[in-house]
Amino acid sequence: MKIGIIIHSRTGHTYSVAQKLKEKLSADGHTVDIQQLRLAGGQDVPGKDSKIENPPDLSGYDRVIFGAPVHAFSLSKVMETYLTQVSSLSGKAVICFVTKGLPFGWTGGNRAIGQMKEICESKWAIVSGTGTVVWNKNHEKQIDDVVKKFRGLLDLKNE
21-40 positions binding ligand FMN, by CB under 6 A? none
CA–CA distance, 68 with 14 (Å, rounded to integer): 6
> Which one of the spans 7-15, 29-37, 50-58, 84-92 is the region binding ligand FMN (CB under 6 A)?
7-15
Between 1 and 110, name the residue whose CB sits nearer to ligand FMN.
110
Letter string b/e over residues 61-70, b meaning 16 or more CB atoms within 10 A of that residue's CB: bebbbbbbbb
Does 131 engage in binding with ligand FMN (CB under 6 A)?
A: no
Between 13 and 30, name the residue whose CB sits nearer to ligand FMN.
13
Does 96 engage in binding with ligand FMN (CB under 6 A)?
A: no
Q: Could you tell me the smallest distance in angstroms from the CB atom of residue 99 to ligand FMN? A: 3
| HEC string for 58-100 | CCCCCEEEEEEEEECCEECHHHHHHHHHCCCCCCCEEEEEEEE
CA–CA distance, 75 with 69 (Å, rounded to integer): 7
Does 45 engage in binding with ligand FMN (CB under 6 A)?
A: no
CA–CA distance, 13 with 100 (Å, rounded to integer): 9
> Which one of the spans 18-26, 54-62, 67-75, 144-152 is the region binding ligand FMN (CB under 6 A)?
67-75
Contact residues toward ligand FMN (CB under 6 A) are: 9-15, 69-73, 99-102, 107-108, 135
